[in-house]
Amino acid sequence: MRVETTELEDVLLLTPEPFRDERGFFVRTFDAPIFDDAVARRASSGRRVRAADFLQDSQSRSARGVIRGMHGRSGDGEAKLVRCAHGAIYDVLVDVRRTSPTFGRKQAFTLDDDTFSHLFVPPGFLHGFQALTDCADVCYRIDREHDPAEDIAVAYNDPGLAIAWPLPVSSVSERDAAAGSWATLTESI
């Protein structure tokens, strides 16, 4: 598994190496020792996360153009591994950790079912994505139980974030459409 640092402090891109032949492919999408070693060697700030800390696996399915986000957690935050098991997504992260050297910066990634890359998103980030294919299944491995009282969100189209989504928006939830602004969020953290 190849592990790469990103432009955002503590965010890692993990790309497994599939075995492909005439039958199709086999890929190990997660390897706890490799993950633990990568995070231990590269994480520089915040709460340390180990593979054994992940408590929950979730999956969403979205149609082309759907946006989910931008979501995060207050308090101790939430670490997650995100991958696209079917189709492709345009995945966006925004650093909301006040003490981070990349506070307020964003970075986008394409995650798909060809490279099998997935993101390690440490606590303290907003996360959202847009489905690029007719059907996109996104899998999340999360290290904390969900507490709705800790939910934070910024509207996907907030000018303070200025995210250039690659496709016209086909659908967004009422909750995401009514999310607050980047300016309001930064005043409260």
User: Which residues are known catalytic residues?
Assistant: 71, 140
Residue carrying structure tokens 């909750």: 175
- For 49, 71, 127, the CA distances from 153, given in Å and listed in that order, are 23, 5, 9
Whole-angstrom distance, CA of residue 95 vs CA of residue 186: 11
Dihedral of the alpha carbons of 137, 18, 53, 185, in degrees to the nearest 10? -50
Task: Please tell me what DSSP assigns to residue 113.
Answer: T
